[in-house]
Structure formats: C-alpha cells, structure tokens
Chain A
C-alpha cells in the first residue's frame, strides 16, 4: 500500500523558533509537495520537488524553505515561526511524469505557533 508519513500529528511552537516538518514516502516517487490548508482558503502549495536536491517555489513560499537530501524524504523548514504560520500542513508525493499519476497525501501536521 502507498504510504506517506509525517513526523508529527500535532506540534506547538513559539514565535521565532526554527521548525522542521518531516515527510517520508515509501513508494519511490520522484515528486514531493508541501501544502498548507486554512479554513476558507483551501489547500495552497508552498514548495515542491521533482528530484533529490531539486526544489521549486509554489504559490506561497515566503517564510518557508525546504530540503530534499534523499529521494524518500522532503522537509519543510520554518526559519523563524510566526503566528500566521499556524495551520494544517500536508505533504504529498506522486510518480513522474506529471499528469499521469495521482498525488498521495500524508495525515497532516497541525502546527500551532504561540
């Protein structure tokens, strides 16, 4: 079975802290994605990656960075957390090429920044 896991289901951090959200997939997928989901705004793409060491900005990359050192792992980094980054964060992966394969999602991490 396809599996995408995220390191934490719930996370509480303080303003200014550096935060790492980890995502791991066991399907040998090339593509990985980070989204955030907010009421009334839906899912918005933060960053995505087509391959190891590759990264592309999504629609709302400000305040975030990513790291992909291994194919199976894609990390989202909040360099200095702020209260407006309180949200549900969802990781996804898919098999290349684009258009032919569905995206599979992890269970999500609900981050609260105080």
Chain B
C-alpha cells in the first residue's frame, strides 16, 4: 500500500530564505507527483506536476524534483516571502487516484 510522508510537519523561516520541503513515498510505481498549496480553510491550488518520466519542473520561484528510484521529491522555494505562508501538500498518482501526504505547514515571517 502506497504511503506518502512529508517532513518537516511545520517550518518557520525569516523572509528571504531559500527552503526545501521533502516528500517521500513507498512505492516507486507512480504515474506522477503533484505539489499543492492550501491556505487555511481553503481548497488546494496545484503548484507543479511532475510526470513519472521527468526529473524536475519549475514555476517561478518554485522548483520540484522527482527521484522515483529512491521514492523522494523535493519542493524548493527560492527567496521566500510572507505570502508563501501556507500548508504544502504532495500527492502521488497511484493507479487511478492520488495519495496525499499530511503536509508541511510553512510560516514565513517578515
């Protein structure tokens, strides 16, 4: 059974820092991996999708990498801003559904 783990569960950093969020999964037979952002009490916003054949994807200050063989993905956020404060979720597509991690709660303070 696929399990997705995110470390750390919470992170607090000063504005301007570069940071890395980690996601690991137990079964490497995935179709893709998706990173989401969730603001308190809101739905999920898709940030990046990495296909299983890809190694990384970039969008603005965000870069996500995927290493299927080791069952790991990282989300790199460059020059963090207070507006980046949110919970970040990773999810792997396994057969016909997404399996989610429990998220990393990020706070960026001025």
> Which A residues are in CB contact (< 8 Å) with B101?
42
> Which A residues are in CB contact (< 8 Å) with B96?
48, 56, 98
Given A41-B102, A105-B46, A110-B41, 8 further pairs, Cβ under 8 A: A33-B97, A45-B97, A90-B43, A99-B93, A102-B34, A104-B46, A107-B42, A107-B43
The smallest beta-carbon distance between B94 and chain A, in angstroms, is 10
Total of A-B residue pairs, C-beta within 8 Å: 55
Q: Can you name the residue of chain A whose Cβ is closest to the Cβ of B30?
A: A99
The smallest beta-carbon distance between B103 and chain A, in angstroms, is 7
Counting chain A residues whose Cβ lies within 8 A of the other chain, the interface size class is: 20 to 34
> Which B residues are in CB contact (< 8 Å) with A98?
31, 93, 95-96
Count residues on chain B whose CB falls below 8 Å from chain A CBs.
Answer: 24
Q: With the chains together, A58 CA to B46 CA distance in Å?
A: 21
Q: With the chains together, A28 CA to B54 CA distance in Å?
A: 27
Q: Does A114 contact B (CB under 8 A)?
A: no
Contact A102 B49 (CB under 8 A): yes
Chosen A-B contacts, 22 in total, with CB atoms closer than 8 Å, are A33-B97, A33-B98, A41-B102, A42-B101, A43-B91, A48-B96, A90-B44, A98-B31, A98-B95, A98-B96, A99-B51, A99-B52, A100-B31, A100-B32, A100-B51, A102-B49, A103-B34, A105-B36, A105-B43, A107-B42, A107-B43, A110-B41
The smallest beta-carbon distance between B60 and chain A, in angstroms, is 16
Q: In the complex, which of the residues B32, B36, B43 contacts A99, with contact meaning CB atoms closer than 8 Å?
A: B32
Known A102-B49, A106-B43: A43·B93 in contact at CB below 8 Å: no
Contact A48 B51 (CB under 8 A): no
